[in-house]
Amino acid sequence: MTQVWWPAGIGVALVLLLSARALAEDGFDCVMEPQRVIKLASPVAGVISQVTVDRGDLVTKGQVVAKLRDGLEKANLALAKAKASNDYALKSARASYEFMRDKHARAEALIGKGFVSKEDFDESLANARTAEQDVREAEANANTAQLELVQAEEVLKQRSVESPFDGVVTEVLLHPGEYRNDQSPIMVLAQIDPLRVEVFVPTAYYGQVRRDSTAVVEPEAPVGGTYDAKVTVVDQVLDAASGTFGVRLALPNADHHLPAGLRCKIRFPGLAAPLARTAQR
């Protein structure tokens, strides 16, 4: 019987290539994870007055999911609205200015005829200029009142906690009556549309998996089925220890049919076998 001797290292490389080829045919192991998971908090501290959702509830972007006590903020807003809507000072200043302006205009017309003294003319001019400055001050106060109204509205908004995306509540950490400090989140939210699929592919296939390409994901039982996912990330740094590189895909899940945290298999259509590629070189 004739023995075939392989050069050093060829046997190991052949085994790795055969293993990579078998994996491609059977599908690579992957995990379906939430697109992102956040610990939701409010920008200010305070006592929780209301939590409108519970674990497992679906939420939409902008939905109010919790509130802090806001009695003082509501009172400040009402006060700011009253100040912003009060235009009596501005109307009075404008009326006074119009009167002083017209009085000065009459004095200016009569001073040349000798009916008005120089002192009276100068006094009318000074009064008109003072009234004009009073109008500008009243206008500035009115603008400040409007800004204070906007500030009061924003302060009140900070007492409401909104969901930053469409997702699901995975955990409620604080309940009505509890105090929310600077370090304590109120709840945990997960975005599950799209799902994030993470997979490690043998380095023998590096260069074949590209961004924006499509792969087929097969969730394990009891979900099953096949779903198309789009490649969003291909790692540029390979893991020499495991002989793999990471790939991330986005799996649409608009109807929330697919749960996160499920294992799966993934196949990349058109993936050439490593042995065939080696032979072509």
What is the per-residue pLDDT across 69-94, written as a single tens digit (0 to 9) for each? 999 999 999 999 999 999 999 999 99
Can you say how many angstroms the Cα of residue 106 is from the centroid of all Cα atoms in its chain?
A: 63
**Residue 10 confidence (pLDDT) above 70:** no
What is the per-residue pLDDT across 105-124, written as a single tens digit (0 to 9) for each? 988 888 877 888 888 889 99
pLDDT of residue 190: 97
Overall pTM > 0.85:
no
What is the per-residue pLDDT across 233-242, written as a single tens digit (0 to 9) for each? 999 999 999 9
CA 245, 246, 247, 253 dihedral sign is positive
Report the percentage of the chain scoring pLDDT > 90: 76
- Give, to the nearest 10 degrees, the angle between helix 118-157 and helix 71-85: 150
pLDDT of residue 24: 54
